[in-house]
């Protein structure tokens, strides 16, 4: 979709923390497409913790969220903008396209 909007990007640039899914160098923008469960999308039903082995899962998922926060902070401190797209948002193509356009036109 981002390509169809006229933006060009590279995939998984290892030079940026967290290897963003898409890097739009011309626009100094990093895009992360996060799974709702693995990255604990706030308020999303897909982010529910498993019922068994709670100690393990709570620690693992909290570590993912902390790592994401640090990576985004580092990228933004280097002058880049970060766009987070959630797995559940990809179902509504129209809303997703609107979100991308709004973000890119700021």
* Alpha-carbon distances, residue 39 vs 7, 22, 75, 83 (angstroms): 26, 17, 18, 14
> What is the tens place of the pLDDT at every residue in 31-50?
999 999 999 999 999 999 89
Say what the pTM is: 0.91
Q: What percent of the chain has pLDDT over 70?
A: 100
Q: What is the DSSP letter of 92?
A: -
Give the count of alpha carbons within 13 A of 76, CB side only: 10
Residue 16 has pLDDT above 90, yes or no: yes
Domain ranges of the chain: 10-104
CATH code, residues 10-104: 3.40.960.10
Tell me how far apart the alpha carbons of residues 39 and 18 are, in angstroms, rounded to a whole number: 12
Where residue 106 falls among pLDDT bands split at 50, 70, 90?
confident
CB atoms within 10 A of CB 50: 11
């Amino acid at each position: 979709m981002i390509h169809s909007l006229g933006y060009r990007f590279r995939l998984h640039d290892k030079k940026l923390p967290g290897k963003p899914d898409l890097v739009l160098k011309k626009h100094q923008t990093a895009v992360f497409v996060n799974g709702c469960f693995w990255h604990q999308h706030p308020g999303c039903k897909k982010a529910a913790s498993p019922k068994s082995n709670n100690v393990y899962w709570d620690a693992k998922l909290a570590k993912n969220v902390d790592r994401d926060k640090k990576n985004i902070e580092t990228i933004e401190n280097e002058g880049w903008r970060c766009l987070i797209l959630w797995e559940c948002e990809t179902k509504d193509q129209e809303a997703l396209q609107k979100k991308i356009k709004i973000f890119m036109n700021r």
